[in-house]
Structure 1
Amino acid sequence: MTQRSTGLLLLFVTALCWGSNWPLLKLLLAEMPPLGARAYAGFIAAALVGVIALARGESLAVPREQWGRVWLFALLNVTAWMGFASMALLWLAAGEAAIIAYTMPVWAALLAWLILGEPLGWAKVAALALGTLGVALLFTPQEVAIGPDKVLGGVMLLAAALLFALGAVIAKRKPLALPPLSAVTWQLGLGSLPLFVISSLWEEVDWAALSPAGWGYFLWMAVGPLGIAYMTWFGALRRLPASTAALGTLLTPVVGTLGAAWLVGEALGWRQWGALACIVLGVALAVRPPPARPRH
């Protein structure tokens, strides 16, 4: 299997795991506060990935000169994304939030063009347009009331999308000089720490009140969307252009919507199926192999 094929497979697993988190997190937040749920799940995910890293013979030691960038990536890829997105859900519906959150591939493609010099090309421009249209079709409610609370939530989600995209692009330009799983372990652990501190000051997590189903949602978030998905995301990012990897995440809202229809009973109409067609076509354009160069 080529590096590109492996990267695409890892990207598909990432989309499945992250997509499953939307309906399950919606159910979990009825029993746990958002930042606490994310922080504790992040710590568990960091511990699991760390154990896997040690079992594979990877060192968890961080050279002194790497600590600054470890913290930078942790804040961009974990704290900002999970923290801002979770807080925004206090003021926005999940559909409104996803419209802004999944603009991340747009910002990643543009930042990769500006910072890395990755060419956009007609296929990626078309993929961006189709993906954005698909997400808008998928999540735009029939009526959107705009007020100060929605503006605040929108700004938070826009910040989450921009900062996560920036983290992906910087990771391509200057990746951490750490073994792969060690890098994921430290980013998850350090990135969850600010969320834990804020949650401890603001929220109250009642573990005794968590139902068996709630425990299942929580543990899956720790193992799947945080543990497995962050490993596969960074694995895909090492093998694919930053813009292609980011565009592949547009499959995430498709998985989330189909999962919500199955688990939460949300209806699937023409807009959902139209969005599915747009996003699948957009991803197909984004991940198509580059044309072979003629030999002279």
Structure 2
Amino acid sequence: MSDRILSEEEAGLGSLNAAPAQDKGSQHLLGIACLLVTAVGWALNWPGMKIILHVWPPLFSRGMAGVVAALALAVVAALRGQSLKVPRAAIPRLLAASLTNVLVWMGLSTVSMRWVSVAEGALLVYTMPIWASLFAWPILGAKPNARGFLALVLGLAGVVVLLGGSGLSLSGDQAVGAALALTAAICFALGTVLNGKPLPLPPITSTAWQVGLGCLPMLVAGALFEHPHLRAMTPVALGSLVYMTVFPMGICYLTWFAALRRLSAATASTAMLLVPVLGTLSAVLLLGETLGLREILAMLLTLSGVTLALGRSRSAS
């Protein structure tokens, strides 16, 4: 779902059992397998969301899937012995994290998919680490080094290439979609920097609360203002909705936690760059979207910048 939530899960790994030292090789392979399941699951959600948006509105669809997934994650957390209780002092930070990590991030990125392609939306959203690196300068005093500036230049170059092609008119609805996707990434990055201290909650519990609190307003707003029509739902769209609820917002978080128990956070975070790549390729296969030189060049530039930004963040931490 998001790097901010993911970083909090990394901080809560002390509550999870460590992999046996005598079986590091097989545990490492299992971690890689879990990581691939997570990346593929999250990647396929991008074209799946496109399919859903053909028949149902974005906020209601995402909100309903998120609320159901949050309830399921809460059950899993309880079965694993994780407490669902939130310390009173942590409630304001939990609400703030739910706002930036879920409501703004998922809400704006989902709405943006009405007007942009999967390649455009995924790449713009995954510029988040670049903006976080930029915000860390005035807020945390973490001045970018040469690597950080290069990451910013590459990332912005990728965005310019993506938005500067003839396939995207900056004066039409696609400009609105691009602006929403970028806003989602920028707001998420700002929330990441402002809420840098991990929440004092177990991993699955933290995710369940954030997803639930962030998606409930989407569900309510969608029901009140978007007026979804149940009869408009097609079998393919229903399958995509079920998939989004069960896999990207449910099972993929469990495989993500399993991967983090066996691999370094740096390896896992960098591997998540597979998501926009696989999402774009799956949209080409499933939706017939085009993948031209512009998209490929933008992908190379943007993901190179994100990789450098992630590397700088790990060095700083």
TM-score interval (norm. to shorter): 0.7 to 0.9
> Quick one: which amino acid aligns to residue 226 of structure 1?
M
Question: CA shift at 1:144, angstroms?
Answer: 3.5
Q: Could you tell me how far apart the structure 1 residues matched to 2:238 and 2:256 are? A: 25
Distance 1:64-1:12 versus aligned 2 partners, 3 A rule:
same
Q: Secondary structure at the match of 2:94?
A: helix
- The structural deviation recorded for 1:68 is 1.2
TM-aligned CA deviation for residue 201 of structure 1? 1.1
**Paired letter, 2:74:** G
CA distance in 2, matches of 1:147, 1:285: 32
Percentage of identical aligned residues? 42
1:252 to 264, 275, 278: 275
**Alpha-carbon deviation of 1:220?**
1.6
Query: Residues 291 and 227 from structure 1, CA distance in 2 versus in 1: closer, same or farther, beyond 3 angstroms?
Result: closer
What CA deviation, in whole Å up to 9, does each residue of 1:207-259 have, x standing for no partner?
Answer: 34422221221122123332345567789999999999877655432122111
- Answering whether residue 58 of structure 2 is matched by residue 38 of structure 1, we say no
* Counterpart Cα distance in 2 of 1:208 and 1:103: 37
Alpha-carbon offset, residue 87 of structure 1: 3.1
Partner of 1:156: 180
| Residue aligned with 2:82, SS | coil
- Equivalents in 1 of 2:213, 2:299: separation in Å? 35
1:1-296 matches, cutoff 5 A: 15-90=39-114, 97-98=121-122, 100-118=124-142, 120-134=144-158, 137=161, 141-147=165-171, 152-171=176-195, 173-229=196-252, 250-278=273-301, 281-282=304-305, 285=308
Determine if contact 1:21/1:225 at 8 Å carries over to the other structure: yes
* Structure 1 pair 181–290 and aligned structure 2 pair: CA distance change class (3 A): closer
Question: Is the Cα–Cα contact under 8 Å of residues 135 and 275 in structure 1 kept in the other structure?
Answer: yes
User: What secondary structure does 1:62 align onto?
Assistant: coil
CA distance, structure 2, for counterparts of residue 250 and residue 56 of structure 1: 30
Q: Distance in 2 between the 1:23 and 1:64 partners?
A: 39
Distance 1:157 1:277, change over 3 A: closer
Q: Which is further off, 260-269 or 108-117?
A: 108-117
Structure 1 residue 151: Cα displacement: 5.7
Question: What displacement does 1:263 show?
Answer: 0.8
In structure 2, list runs of 5 or more residues that go unmatched: 1-24
One-letter amino acid of the counterpart of residue 263, structure 1: L
Instruction: Give, in angstroms, the shift of residue 69 of structure 1.
Output: 1.1
| Change over 3 Å in CA distance of 1:289–1:174 after alignment to 2 | closer
Distance across 1 between alignment mates of 2:96 and 2:293: 42
The residue type paired with residue 190 of structure 2 is L
Contact 1:88–1:153 (8 Å) recurs in 2: yes
CA distance in 2, matches of 1:113, 1:242: 23
Q: Give the letter aligned to residue 150 of structure 2.
A: A
Q: Distance in 2 between matches of 1:129 and 1:239?
A: 33
Moved more, 19-28 or 272-281: 272-281
Asked whether the 8 Å contact 1:102–1:161 carries over to 2, the reply is yes
What code does the residue aligned with 1:57 have? G
Report the alpha carbon displacement of residue 9 of structure 1 after superposing the two structures with TM: 8.5
Aligned length: 289
Query: Normalising by the residue count of structure 1, what TM-score does the alignment of the two structures yield?
Result: 0.77
Q: Aligned letter for 2:205?
A: S
Unaligned ranges ≥5, structure 1: none
* 1:106 partner SS: helix
Indicate the larger mover: 88-97 or 242-251: 242-251
Check the 8 A contact 1:99/1:136 in 2, yes or no: no
